Chain A
Amino acid sequence: MIGRRFLRQALPFLSLAVVLAAIFFVQPRTMSYFGLNLMLQYAVPIALATIAQMFVITVNDLDLSIGPFVGLVGSIAATLLYDDPVLGMAALLACIAAYGAVGALIHSRNLPSIVVTLGLSFVWLGISVLILPTPGGNAPGWLKWLMAVQIPLVPFPIVAAIIIGGAVQLALMYSSFGVIARGAGGNPRALARAGWSMLWTKVAMYSLAGFFGVLSGLSLLGLTTSADAHVADRYTLYSIAGVILGGGEFIGGRVSPMGAVVGALTLALAGSFLIFLRISPDWQIGAQGAILIVVLALRAAVTLGEARR
C-alpha cells in the first residue's frame, strides 16, 4: 500500500504536470520565461488565499469569507496604506487580530464556522465598500515593484510558490506546533485532555489564516495596481477547491501545504488552458468544473484501495 500512498501524495503534482503539458502542447510559445511568468502571476495571490483557507480547514472549520477579506485588504492597502503607511499597517494588523478573535468566538461558543464566516463575508465587503465606494486607489510603489520582480532563469511566481509552500510545509508538518494544530483537527478532545489549549490553537490558526489573507490581498493589489471591493469574491471557492485538489480533506486535520499551493497553481493554469483551447466563453466555467471532477475522479481511483482497508 506504500505505492498507493505515494501516488496519492504525488497526484496533485501529477495533475499540475498534466495541465502544464497540455498548455505547452496547445500553445508552445508559453514554454518560456515570459510565458510562464504571464500565466502564473495571478496564481500567487490565489496560492496565498488557499494557504489561508488550509489553516482553517486544518481545524475542521471552513472559511467562506476569505474572498471578500482579500478584497478588503486590497481596499485598505490601496487607500490607507498608500496615504499613510503607519495607519495602513495598523489597519492590516487589526484585520489579522479580527480573524483571531473570530476563531476564539467560534471555539468558545462552539459555533458553526460556515455561518459565522458567511456573516463575516458581509462585514468585510461592507467595510471595503465604505473605504472604497468605487474601484480605484493606488498600489504602494514597493508592492508594484515586488510583484514585478524579475529573477534570472526561473520566473518569479514559481519561486514565490516554492517559498510559500515550503515555508508553510516546514511549519505545519515538521514543527511541534504544527503537530498540535493538525491534531486539533484529528481529535480535539484527546489533545485537550493532554493539556493543550484548543482555544489558543484555534486563535493561532485563524490568525495565520488572516495573515495569509493579508499577504494574498497585498500581492493581488501589486498585480492589479488599483483595488476593487469585489475583485476577489471568487477566491473563496478557488481556495476551498485548491486545498482539496492539493490532497487536503475537510475533516481530520489531513492537509498538505505544498499540495495546496500546487492545487492553486493547477486551478490558475486551468483557466489559461481553457482560454488557449478557444472554448466558447459559455463553457469556460463549465470546463473548470469538469477539470475539478476529472482530477478528483483520478484521486478516487487511486485511494479506492486505501478506503476499503
Chain B
Amino acid sequence: MNALINRLRHQPWIWSFLAAALVWIVTVTWLRGQGAGEILTAALSFATFSIIVGLGQMMVITTGPGNVDLSIPATITLAGVVAMKVMDTDNARLLIGILAALGVSLLAGIFNYALIRLLRMPPIIATLSSSFLILSTAISYGRGIRIKPPPMLDDFATFRLTGIPVATLFVLAVSFVMALVLRRTVYGRSVLAIGQNPRAAWLAGLKVDGVRFATYVLSGFLSGVCGIVLSGFSGGAALDMGEEFLLSSIAVVVIGGTSVAGGKANVPGIWGAALFLFLLVTMLNTFHASAGIRLIMTGLIIIAVIVIAGGDEQR
C-alpha cells in the first residue's frame, strides 16, 4: 500500500486529479449531495474542449522552451466559422464542412511553422502574429452572421450516453491515441527527445525540422476539431468562441504536469487539469461569490497548484 502511494505521489498527473476531486467534494458537500452527478457530467462536457486543444498545446510545449501555440483561439474560431458556413445547416454537407474546416486549420498550422522556420521568428511572436491574420480571416469570412449547426453535428456534440457525453468519449479515444503516439511512435519519441535537447536530437539523426513542423500542424488540426465540435455544442460559431482557450490551453497542460521546459509530456494530467478548472468555476459559482472574488480565487488556486505540484524536480 505504501509503495503504491509512493509511486502515485511521483506521478506528475496525480496532483491535478487530486485537486479536481477535492474541489468536487467541497462543492458537493456544500450542496449537501445535490446534483453531484450533474456537476460531473457538465464538467466532462465542458472539459472536452480544453482537452482537445490541450493535447495539441502539450505537444508544442514539449518540443522545448519557448515553443507555444498562441494561435489556437483564432484557429478554433476560423474552423468554427468555416464549418458552419460550408455546412449551411444541411446534414448532407456535414462531411464537406468538416473537411473544409480541418483544411483551413491545417493551413494555419503550416503557416505558423513557416513563420518560425523561414523567418526565424520566436514561436510566441510567430503564432501571435499569425493569430491576428487568422482572426481577421474569420471576421471577414464570417461577417458576423450566426449560422446554426446542422442537426447531426448538434446531436453529436450534445448527445449523452447514460450521462456521459458522446463528445467526451470521442476525446477520450483521441487522448488514448495521443498517449500511444507519444510513447510508441518514432514521432512521439522524437518530440520528447527534441524537447530534452534539440542539438543532441539533431546529432542523433532525428528530423528535427520535420517533427516540429508536424507538431505545429497537429496543434492546428486539433484546434480545428475543437472549433467544429464546439460550434455544434454551442449552437453555432461566434467570433469570440476561441478566446478563453488562450489561457486554458496553456493552463491545462502545465497544471497537468507537462514540463514547460520541454521534453516531458503528460496526457492524463490534461484530463485532471481540465476537470479541475471547470469544477473550480462551478464551486465558486455555488458559493455565490461575486465576479471579483471568483477571479481572485481562480488565480490564487492556479498558483497554489503549480507551487505544490511544480518546481523542485527541475533543479
Inter-subunit contact A115/B293 (CB<8 Å)? no
Q: Within the assembled complex, what's the spacing in Å between the Cα atoms of A304 and B117?
A: 12
Please state if B295 and A126 are interface contacts (CB–CB under 8 Å). yes
Closest to B142 in A: A282
Give chain A's interface residue range (CB within 8 Å of chain B).
Answer: 35 or more
* Chain B interface helix/strand/loop/mixed: helix
Which residues of B from 119 to 166 have beta carbons under 8 Å from A? 119-122, 124-125, 128-133, 135-137, 139-140
Are B254 and A115 in contact, CB atoms less than 8 angstroms apart? yes
Tell me if B250 and A115 are in contact (CB < 8 A).
yes
The A/B interface has a contact count, at CB < 8 Å, of 151
Supposing A109-B311, A123-B300 touch, asked if A240 and B306 sit within 8 A by C-beta, the answer is: no
Write out the residue numbers on chain B whose beta carbons fall within 8 Å of the beta carbon of A304: 120
From B298, which residue of chain A is reached at the shortest CB distance? A122
**In contact, A282 and B250 (Cβ under 8 angstroms):** no
Per-residue interface assignment for chain A, residues 263 to 294, with 1 indicating a CB less than 8 Å from any chain B CB and 0 otherwise:
00000000000000000101111111110110
Which of the segments A88-96, A215-223, A295-303 contacts the partner chain? A295-303
Set of chain A residues within 8 Å of B124, measured between Cβ atoms: 62, 240, 250
Interface of A is mostly: helix
Q: Report A108 CB to chain B, min CB distance, Å.
A: 9
Q: A282-B140, A286-B135, A286-B136 are in contact. Are A250 and B250 (CB under 8 A)?
A: no
Contact A237:B120 (CB < 8 A) given known A109-B312, A110-B315, A111-B307: no
Inter-chain CA distance A116–B119, complex, in Å, is 30
Instruction: Give the residues in chain A near B250, CB-CB below 8 Å.
Output: 114-115, 118
- Residues of B within 8 Å of A128, CB to CB, are 292
Chain A residue at minimum C-beta to C-beta distance from B254: A115
- Docked-complex contact B125 and A126, CB < 8 angstroms: no
Q: What is the minimal beta-carbon distance from A23 to any residue of chain B, in angstroms?
A: 20
Interface size on B, residues (CB 8 A): 50
Q: What are 17 A-B interface contacts by the 8 Å CB criterion? A: A111-B306, A115-B260, A119-B303, A123-B300, A125-B299, A126-B294, A126-B297, A129-B292, A240-B128, A249-B122, A251-B66, A285-B136, A286-B137, A287-B136, A288-B132, A293-B121, A307-B120
Closest 8 CB pairs of A and B: A286-B136, A289-B132, A126-B295, A122-B299, A126-B296, A130-B292, A119-B302, A123-B299
Question: A residues within 8 Å of B by Cβ?
Answer: 62, 105, 109-112, 114-116, 118-130, 133, 237, 240-241, 244, 249-251, 280, 282-290, 292-293, 296-297, 300, 303-304, 307
